[in-house]
Amino acid sequence: MSNILCIDDEPSVGVVLEHHLTEIGHHPVLATSVDEGLKAVREQPFDLIISDYRMPNATGLDLLELLRAQGYEIPVIIMTGYSSIEHAVMSIRHGAVDYLTKPLRQEALRIAVNNAIEVARLRRENEAYRREITSLRGQRTIVGESAALRDVMETIAMVAPTRATVLLEGESGTGKELFARALHEQSPRKDEPFVTVNCAALPEGLVESTLFGHERGAFTGATQRQAGAFERAHRGTLLLDEISEMRLDLQAKLLRAIQEQEFERVGGSQPVRVDVRIVATTNRDLLAEVEAGRFRRDLYYRLAVVPVKTPSLRDRHGDLPRLVEHFVAVTASELGVKSPVVRADALAVLERRPWPAISANSPTRSSARCCSAAAIRSVRRPSALRSPRRPFCLPPPLRRRPPRRGRFRRPRRTRERARASCRSTSTTSNASRSSARSPRPAGTARARPTCSASASARCATSSTDRPKPPPDASQRSRETPAAPGGSRRRARHFLPDGSAA
């Protein structure tokens, strides 16, 4: 149910409005003049106002102007018994959301009231979203009070109200995009679009289409007309990030678009006029690029109408503690934890860093994410107490054992089966040899084997010629390989007289 103020100098119309609005489910409040209606607005909030066009002291258009002058953003529906196209157009131009004619019909009134209340709800949501976006942008504000930063901010504040093109030069990570957004927020174009184009990240064949747009059928895949960055940034600001990465052939087209505020879409023949403010950024010395022939000189002077050098963190003396506290608070808010306190020893470690660019965001965010205590402190000892570093050497490389060649290792189960079969074969051969021997009578000595006649002659002949072996070597016996039965026997040569050789 919504509160609706009904203003009409005829009491009968007010009664009809009260009846219809009550049946719809709203709460009507009646007033007979504009002054009485404004007094009711100051006393209580209303979601909608339904006012007559012609009244004795003031008209519905006067009511719209008074509401706007006093800062009230309440939707108004104008109704009249003298309907004309001119009155309807004038009412809409002055801010009315709808226009009704008398006598009022309940269905038309219901549709007009519901639409007006929906418009008011969308306006409130839009305003809430705008405040939220503004607060999110505030988290990326420029933090610091150093002299170098104040000089840059003073230059931006001086240039923001004009249409001059600004060139932001500085190292990567020095916040060039933040300075460009600050320039846009302080300019009269702050309510208009802020479009960013990263020239270094665009594919080579789509740079021209991204900047100027294309017509339908301009190339393969162009199924419909698409607006480029210049067209989307109409009446706003266009940020050309890393402008030094743009090709030379496109620099000529960009120069004409900046100078004439006019361009042609890819595949089109009709010029398109825009009103765009250009802000360019680069991390290189653009004048040195001009001298090297990699950037057009005329385009450089067109962009560098107001050159601004963004300072790095090593040039912003005294800003590091404020930056660390800001990043720690933002990260703690994102993680939903209590913001830790940054101790002096941690700040001392950060201040000793060379800081090639303003990259304090990364270490402070990492510290806030990894710190489980209530304070962030330094975990490294001071350099005076730190032991000297030992020279770093790589460990010796791991040597891979070469594979064993010429031998195939059977699986475990196969090896066990082979061993079992060998045991059974050995047992069988021993048993067969035992059964083949004849039993020796008890008390008889074992017969010694004798050599043949030829072997004895060789032994007798060679014994006189060869040198005699040492005494201990003659007693050694040569062992023969193991017999199939598993036992070893000593082999000796005997002479004919029975003595050992």
DSSP 90-122: HHHHTT-SEEEESSP-HHHHHHHHHHHHHHHHH
> How large a percentage of the chain has pLDDT more than 90?
16
Confidence of residue 74 (pLDDT cuts 50, 70, 90): confident
pLDDT confidence of residue 298: 92
pLDDT at 475: 47
- The mean pLDDT of 173-200, rounded to a whole number, is 89
Alpha helix segments (H runs only) across 292-411: 297-303, 320-335, 344-351, 361-370
pLDDT of residue 209: 86
For 305, half-sphere exposure in the C-beta direction (CA atoms, 13 angstrom radius) is: 16
Q: Which two tokens stand for residue 299?
A: 């385009």
The more confidently predicted of residues 250 and 459 is 250
Q: What 3-state class would DSSP assign to 74?
A: coil
User: Which residue's entry shows tokens 């066009």?
Assistant: 53
Helix (H, G, I), strand (E, B) or coil at 383: coil
Residue 74 phi/psi, 5-degree rounding, is -110, 130
pLDDT exceeds 60 at position 406 = no
The length of the chain in residues reads 501
- How do residues 342-364 score in pLDDT, each as one tens digit? 888 888 888 888 776 545 555 55
Who wins on pLDDT, 192 or 443? 192
- Give the pLDDT score at 477: 44
Instruction: Evaluate if residue 496 carries a pLDDT over 70.
Output: no
What crossing angle do the helices spanning 11-24 and 106-138 adopt, rounded to 10°? 70
* Confidence at residue 154, expressed as pLDDT on a 0 to 100 scale: 92
Q: What pLDDT shows up at residue 292?
A: 92
In angstroms, the CA 188 to CA 235 distance is 10
pLDDT value, residue 479: 45
pLDDT in tens, 418-431: 777 766 665 555 55
> What is the enclosing helix (H) or strand (E) of 309?
strand 306-309
What does the buried/exposed string (b/e) look like for 316-351 if buried means 16 or more CB atoms within 10 Å of the residue's CB? beebbeebbbbbbebbbeeeeeeebebeeebbeebe
pLDDT in tens, 94-138: 888 888 888 888 888 888 888 888 888 888 888 777 777 666 554
Looking at residue 289, its pLDDT comes to 92
Interatomic CA distance for residues 255 and 262, integer angstroms: 10
pLDDT value of residue 60: 84
Nearest Cα to Cα of residue 210 among 193, 225, 230, 235: 230
d(CA 371, CA 365): 10
Instruction: Say yes or no to pLDDT of 328 above 70.
Output: yes
pTM of this prediction?
0.53
Inform me whether the pLDDT recorded for 486 exceeds 50.
no
**What would the mean pLDDT of 12-21 be, rounded to a whole number?**
86
Give the ranges where 357-452 is alpha helix by DSSP (H). Answer: 361-370, 412-436
What are the pLDDT digits (tens) for 35-72?
888 888 888 888 888 888 888 788 888 888 888 888 78
What pLDDT shows up at residue 476?
45
What local confidence, expressed as pLDDT, does residue 412 receive?
A: 63
Residue 395: its pLDDT value, please? 54
**Per-residue model confidence as pLDDT tens digits over 432-448:** 555 555 555 555 555 55
pLDDT in tens, 134-186: 665 544 578 888 888 889 999 999 999 999 999 999 988 888 989 999 999 88
Q: Which pair of tokens denotes residue 228? A: 């480029």
β-strands 262-264, 271-273: how paired? antiparallel
Residue 372, pLDDT above cutoff 50? no
Note the pLDDT of residue 386: 46
Q: Is 148 left (phi over 0), alpha (psi -120 to 50) or beta?
A: alpha
More confidently predicted of 338 and 308: 308
Neighbouring CB atoms inside 10 A of 227's CB total: 14
Q: Two tokens at 218? A: 């301009």
- Residues 6+ positions from 82 with CB-CB distance below 8 Å: 53, 54
**What is the DSSP annotation of 236-278?**
SEEEEETGGGS-HHHHHHHHHHHHHSEEE-BT--SEEE---EE
- Determine if the peptide bond prior to 103 is cis (ω within 30°): yes
The rounded percent of the chain whose pLDDT value lies above 70 is 70
Nearest to 7 by CA among 42, 48, 45: 48
pLDDT tens per residue across span 211-225: 888 888 888 888 888
Residue among 310, 311, 313, 285 at smallest CA distance from 300: 285
Please give the Cα distance from 213 to 286 (Å, whole number): 27
pLDDT at 194 over 50: yes
> What's the pLDDT at 158?
93
- pLDDT given at position 281: 94
DSSP conformation letters of 143-194: ----HHHHHHHHHHHHHTTS---EEEE--TTS-HHHHHHHHHHTSTTTTS-E
> Higher-confidence residue: 192 or 459?
192
pLDDT digits over 261-312, tens only? 888 888 888 888 899 999 999 999 999 999 999 999 999 999 999 999 999 8
Highest mean pLDDT among 6-10, 424-428, 452-456: 6-10
